[in-house]
C-alpha cells in the first residue's frame, strides 16, 4: 500500500476514534542541546553550519550518482576553489561514546517554567529514528548563528515537538510487543542478575525517562491508534530498557484496547509477581496470550534473595493458574551462583521439575552474564558456571518431557556437537503434533514431505511454512540412532500446553536457529563485487565454529582468489563475560581492525561484518546509536555489512 493511501486510511481511523473519545495524539518532544554548538570543529561559523548539516545528513542518507553509492568526505564553497573543509575529522574525539559517559540528551529534562512537559531522549532517537536526531542537530546549528523572533520580539527555543505523526510511520513487524513493551517503564523486582544493572550509561536504549503512568498510557494509546499490523506499519519506536509490564496501572486497559485493534497474539515478558487469580483470569479473556515467565526459582526464599521480590509466592503460585486457564508460557530461569555451585544446581533441578509438573510449554535456561559496569563484580568463575549448567541441563532433558533450552544455544552446540547445524530435535512440546507423532529427543530430520533437509535453518523454514499453510498432515524422515524412521504428523491433533499460535515448528524444539548457508552465497557476492583479495571477516566466539565448518564444506570459494581471515573482536564496551557478537559496538570493530593492521602490517582490501549488531533499528546503528559507517571513516578500510538475522537463541 502506498504511503499516501495508508496516510489517508489511518487518518480516517484516527478521526473516528477521536470523535468518540476526544483523544489527542501524544506529544513527542525533544530537548535541544545548545551547549554542544559552543564547541565547534571549525571556527568559521558558516562552515561549521555546513559541516554539521552534511555530517548529520550523511549519517542518515547515502549519496548516489547514476544509481551507485558515492562517498563524500569534505566540501568547499562554490566561490572558493582553494579552501577545503574535511568531514568526520573529529570522529575519534566526539563520536566514540565512552562506556561510562552518558550520550547527548539521554536524560529526562523538565522545562524551567514547570509546565510539566516531558522530553523524549534524543540519544534514544538517534538509535531508532535518527531523522529526529538530524532535526535536533540542524536546529542546534542554526541557533548557533541566528536568534528566532516572533512579532519583533526574541523567542527562546529549547526544544521541539513532532507535528503530524503520520510523517513518522515506519515499517513494522506487526508484533504486538511493539506496543505492549511501552508499559514496562518500571520494575517490581530488583534482580541481582538484572541485565539493566550493568548497562554502560552510553547505551542508547536506556532512555532515562521517569514519568507518570498516565504519561506512559497517553503514549501507548497513540501508538495503538497508529498501529497497523496488517499493513506492516506503526509509529517509529522509542523504547528504552523494558522492565515489568504487568504491574503498570494501565496494563489490562492497554491489552483490552490493543485486542480491540488486532487479533494478533500477545507475547508478554513478566516476573510473575502480579499474576494474581484476577489478573490471570482477565488475561485469559484476551487470548491468544503467551508469557515468558521469569521464574528463576521455585523456592520462595531463594527467589526473594535472587530477585528481591516481596511477592515470590504469588509468582510461584501463578504457574498452576496459567495451566488452569490454558495460557501457554515459557518458564525462564537464570541460574545465578548466589551461594555455592551445588546449591545453584540443586535449585535449578527443583525449579525445572516444578515448571515441568505445571505443564510449561518449554523451559528456557539463560546462562548468567555481567558487564564491566556491573556492581559489584561477581567473584565467580563464570566459565565454570556455564559448563556446569549445560551439563545439568542435558541431564534434566532425560528426566522431563518438557523441552529445556539453554541460551545462548550455540554455546552448548560448540561444546557437545562435533557436526554443527544439524536439524536435531532436543525437545518436543507436550501434546503437540510432534508429540503425538512420536518424534523424540535426539531425532535428526532428514526429509520433510519429500524435501531433503541439510541444515537446521532449512528444517525450521520448511516446518514454519507448512504450519502456516492449510496442510493437515505432513511426513518426516528422521535418523534415530542408526536407523531411519518414517513419521507421519496429524497437524490437527494437539492440546495444551502446545499452541498453534506460538509454536512455530509443530512442537519440535531445536538447538537454536543455526547458520544459514545462504549467508556464504551473499558473502561471495560481496567479495566479488569489491574485487577483494584479502578479506577480514569479523565474527563472534559463538558463531565462528559453525562459520568455519560451513566454509570448509562449501565449494563456493574453491576457485576464489580471495583469502578470508576470520577473527573475533573483543567486546571492550560491555566487558565482563559478554562475548555475543550482536552486542559489539562500532568502537569494538574499530579497535580490532586497527589492531589487525598493526599486527599484519597491511590493510585488508575489505572488512565484512554481520549486520546483526546493527539490526535493532534498521538504520545501521549500534547500541550506542553510532552508525556503522564510522568504522570505515576511522580505519580507512572498506567495510560491508553482510545481511543476517539477529540471534535471539
CATH number at residue 431: 2.30.42.10
Q: How confident is the model at residue 195 (pLDDT cuts 50, 70, 90)?
A: confident
Task: Please give the distance of CA 300 from its chain centroid, rounded to a whole number.
Answer: 31
**Residues 99 and 214 grouped into a single domain:** no
Q: Is 69 helix (H, G, I), strand (E, B) or coil?
A: strand
Last residue of a domain, one of 138, 161, 184: 161
Which tens digits make up the pLDDT trace of 21-47?
557 999 999 999 888 666 788 988 899
pLDDT of residue 95: 47
In a domain, 330, yes or no: yes
Q: Is 617 or 5 the better-scoring residue by pLDDT?
A: 617
Angle between helices 213-226 and 3-21 (to 10 degrees): 130
What are the backbone angles phi and psi of residue 499, rounded to the nearest 5°?
Answer: -140, 120
Average of per-residue pLDDT across 274-298: 98
Q: How confident is the model at residue 387, as a pLDDT?
A: 96
* pLDDT score for 23: 72
Domain shared by 184 and 306, yes or no: yes
Grid coordinates given for 36 = 554542544
Asked whether the predicted pLDDT for residue 13 surpasses 70, the reply is no
- On the question of pLDDT at 98 being above 60, the answer is no
The three-point CA angle 188-194-195 to 5° equals: 130
C-alpha torsion sign, points 109, 111, 115, 117: negative
Q: Containing domain of residue 455, as a range? A: 422-513
Clarify whether residues 152 and 178 are in a common domain.
no
- Distance, in Å, from the CA atom of 218 to the CA atom of 236, rounded to the nearest integer, reads 16
- 2 within a domain of the structure (yes/no): no
Tell me the pLDDT band of 20, cut-offs 50, 70 and 90: very low
Query: Mean pLDDT, to the nearest integer, of 373-389?
Result: 89
Phi, psi (deg, nearest 5) at residue 125: -65, -35
Residues 111 and 244 in one domain: no
Spatial strand order of the sheet with 444-448 comes to 451-452, 444-448, 473-480, 483-490
- Section 365-376 average pLDDT: 90
105-135 burial string, b = 16+ CB within 10 Å, else e?
bbbebeeeeeeeebbbbbbbbbbbbbbbbbb
C-alpha dihedral, 228 to 230 to 236 to 238, nearest 10°: 90
In 264-381, where does DSSP find H-type helix? 277-284, 300-307, 312-324, 341-357
| 438-462: pLDDT as tens digits | 999 999 999 999 999 999 999 999 9
Average pLDDT over residues 487-515: 96
Return the pLDDT at 474: 94
Same domain, 337 and 397: yes
Structure confidence at residue 210 (pLDDT): 73
Quote the distance between the C-alpha of residue 423 and its chain's center.
25
- Specify whether 474 is located in the same domain as 410: no
Residues 572 and 527 in one domain: yes
Q: What is the DSSP letter of 228?
A: B
User: Is residue 647 in a domain?
Assistant: no
* Residues 374 and 501 grouped into a single domain: no
- DSSP labels, 508-568: EEESSS---THHHHHHHHHHHHHT-SEEEEE--TTTHHHHHHHHHH-STTTT---EEEEE-
Integer Cα distance of 603 and 585 in angstroms = 21
User: Is residue 94 predicted with pLDDT exceeding 80?
Assistant: no
Q: How far apart are CA 128 and CA 206, in angstroms?
A: 12
Alpha carbon distance 540, 526 (integer Å): 20
Q: Is the pLDDT of residue 581 over 90?
A: yes
- Number of structural domains (the chain) is 4
C-alpha cell at 89: 575529522
**pLDDT score, position 207:** 53
The neighbour count for residue 221, using CB atoms within 10 Å, is 21
How does pLDDT run across 48-73, given as a tens digit for each residue? 999 999 999 999 999 999 999 999 99
Asked if residue 624 belongs to a domain, the reply is: yes
Average pLDDT, stretch 115-126?
83
pLDDT above 80: residue 154: yes
Whether residue 243 is predicted with pLDDT greater than 50 in this model: the reply is: yes
**544 inside domain:** yes
Does the pLDDT at position 15 exceed 70? no
Cβ-contact 378, 201 below 8 angstroms: no
Global pTM? 0.92
Give pLDDT, residue 19.
40
- Residues 52, 87: Cα–Cα separation, whole Å: 9
Note the helical H segments in 40-164.
Answer: 45-58, 122-128, 130-143
Q: What is the pLDDT of residue 570?
A: 96
> Are residue 255 and residue 322 in the same domain, yes or no?
yes
Whichever domain contains 568, its CATH number is 3.40.50
Average pLDDT of the chain to the nearest whole number: 91
Task: Tell me: pLDDT of 375 over 90.
Answer: no
* pLDDT of 8: 53
Give the per-residue pLDDT at 92.
67
The residue out of 382, 398, 416 marking a domain boundary is: 416
Give the pLDDT score at 110.
Answer: 39
Distance CA(255)–CA(279), nearest Å, equals 12
DSSP symbols for 344-360:
HHHHHHHHHHHHHHTT-
Angle between helices 130-143 and 45-58 (to 10 degrees): 180
Asked if 480 and 522 sit in the same domain, the reply is no
- The last residue of one of the domains, among 459, 480, 513, is 513
Answer yes or no: do 40 and 152 share one domain: yes
Confidence of residue 649 (pLDDT cuts 50, 70, 90): confident
User: What whole-number percentage of the chain has pLDDT above 90?
Assistant: 80
**151/275 same-domain check:** no
Output the pLDDT for position 108. Answer: 40
**Least confident among 203-212, 280-289, 309-318, 564-573:** 203-212
Region 93-115 average pLDDT = 45
Amino acid at each position: 500500500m502506498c504511503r499516501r493511501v495508508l496516510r489517508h486510511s489511518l487518518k480516517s481511523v484516527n478521526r473516528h476514534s477521536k470523535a468518540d473519545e476526544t483523544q489527542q495524539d501524544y506529544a513527542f518532544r525533544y530537548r535541544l542541546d545548545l551547549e554542544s554548538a559552543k564547541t565547534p570543529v571549525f571556527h568559521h561559523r558558516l562552515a561549521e553550519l555546513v559541516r554539521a548539516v552534511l555530517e548529520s545528513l550523511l549519517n542518515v542518507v547515502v549519496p548516489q550518482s547514476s544509481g551507485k553509492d558515492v562517498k563524500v568526505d569534505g566540501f568547499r564553497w562554490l566561490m572558493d576553489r582553494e579552501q577545503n573543509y574535511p568531514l568526520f575529522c573529529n570522529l575519534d574525539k566526539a563520536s566514540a561514546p565512552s562506556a561510562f559517559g552518558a550520550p547527548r540528551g539521554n536524560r529526562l529534562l523538565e522545562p524551567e517554567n514547570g509546565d510539566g512537559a516531558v522530553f523524549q531522549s534524543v540519544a534514544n532517537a538517534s538509535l531508532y529514528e535518527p531523522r529526529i536526531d538530524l532535526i535536533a542537530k540542524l536546529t542546534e546549528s542554526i541557533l548557533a548563528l541566528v536568534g528566532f523572533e516572533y512579532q519583533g520580539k526574541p523567542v527562546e527555543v529549547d526544544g521541539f515537538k513532532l507535528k503530524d505523526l503520520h510523517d513518522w510511520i515506519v515499517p513494522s513487524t506487526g508484533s504486538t510487543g511493539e506496543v505492549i513493551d511501552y508499559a514496562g517503564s518500571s520494575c517490581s523486582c530488583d534482580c541481582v542478575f538484572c541485565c539493566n544493572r550493568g548497562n554502560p550509561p552510553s547505551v542508547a536504549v536506556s532512555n532515562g525517562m521517569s514519568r507518570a503512568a498516565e504519561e506512559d498510557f497517553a503514549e501507548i494509546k497513540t501508538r495503538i491508534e497508529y498501529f497497523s499490523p496488517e499493513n506492516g506499519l506503526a509509529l517509529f519506536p522509542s523504547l528504552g530498557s523494558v522492565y515489568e509490564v504487568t504491574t503498570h496501572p494501565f496494563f489490562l486497559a492497554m491489552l483490552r484496547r490493543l485486542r480491540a485493534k488486532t487479533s494478533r497474539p500477545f507475547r508478554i515478558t513478566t516476573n510473575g509477581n502480579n499474576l494474581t487469580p484476577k489478573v490471570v483470569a482477565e488475561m485469559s479473556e484476551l487470548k491468544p496470550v503467551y508469557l515468558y515467565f521469569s521464574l528463576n526459582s521455585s523456592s520462595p526464599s531463594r527467589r526473594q534473595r535472587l530477585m528481591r521480590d516481596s511477592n515470590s509466592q504469588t509468582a510461584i503460585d501463578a504457574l498452576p493458574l496459567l495451566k488452569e486457564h490454558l495460557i501457554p508460557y515459557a518458564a525462564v530461569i537464570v541460574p545465578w551462583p548466589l551461594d555455592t555451585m551445588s546449591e545453584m544446581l540443586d535449585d535449578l533441578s527443583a525449579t525445572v521439575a516444578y515448571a515441568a509438573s505445571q505443564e510449561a510449554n518449554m523451559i528456557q535456561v539463560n546462562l548468567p552474564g555481567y558487564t564491566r559496569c556491573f556492581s559489584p563484580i561477581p567473584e565467580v568463575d563464570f566459565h565454570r558456571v556455564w559448563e556446569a549448567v549445560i551439563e545439568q541441563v542435558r541431564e534434566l532433558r532425560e528426566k522431563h518431557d518438557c523441552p529445556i533450552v539453554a541460551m545462548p544455544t550455540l554455546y552448548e552446540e560448540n561444546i557437545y556437537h562435533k557436526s554443527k547445524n544439524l536439524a536435531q530435535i532436543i525437545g518436543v512440546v507436550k501434546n503437540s503434533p510432534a508429540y503425538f507423532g512420536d518424534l523424540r529427543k535426539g531425532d535428526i530430520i532428514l526429509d520433510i514431505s519429500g524435501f531433503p533437509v541439510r541444515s537446521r535453518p532449512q528444517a525450521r523454514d520448511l516446518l514454519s511454512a507448512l504450519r502456516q499453510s492449510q496442510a493437515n498432515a505432513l511426513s518426516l524422515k528422521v535418523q534415530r540412532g542408526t536407523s531411519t524412521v518414517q513419521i507421519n504428523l496429524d497437524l490437527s491433533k494437539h492440546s495444551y500446553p502446545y499452541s498453534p499460535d506460538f509454536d512455530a515448528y509443530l512442537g519440535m524444539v531445536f538447538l537454536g536457529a543455526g547458520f544459514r548457508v545462504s549467508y556464504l552465497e551473499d558473502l561471495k557476492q560481496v567479495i566479488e563485487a569489491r574485487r577483494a583479495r584479502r578479506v577480514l571477516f569479523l565474527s563472534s566466539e559463538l558463531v565462528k565454529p559453525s562459520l568455519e565448518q560451513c566454509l570448509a564444506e562449501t565449494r563456493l570459494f574453491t576457485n576464489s582468489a580471495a583469502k578470508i581471515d576470520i577473527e573475533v573482536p573483543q567486546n571492550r564496551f560491555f566487558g565482563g563475560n559478554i562475548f555475543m557478537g550482536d552486542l559489539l559496538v562500532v568502537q569494538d570493530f574499530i579497535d580490532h581492525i586497527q589492531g589487525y593492521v598493526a599486527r599484519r602490517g597491511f590493510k585488508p582490501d575489505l572488512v565484512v561484518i554481520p549486520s546483526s549488531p546493527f539490526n535493532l533499528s534498521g538504520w545501521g546503528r549500534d547500541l550506542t546509536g553510532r552508525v556503522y559507517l564510522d568504522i570505515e571513516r576511522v580505519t580507512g578500510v572498506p567495510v560491508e555489512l553482510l545481511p543476517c538475522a539477529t540471534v535471539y537463541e
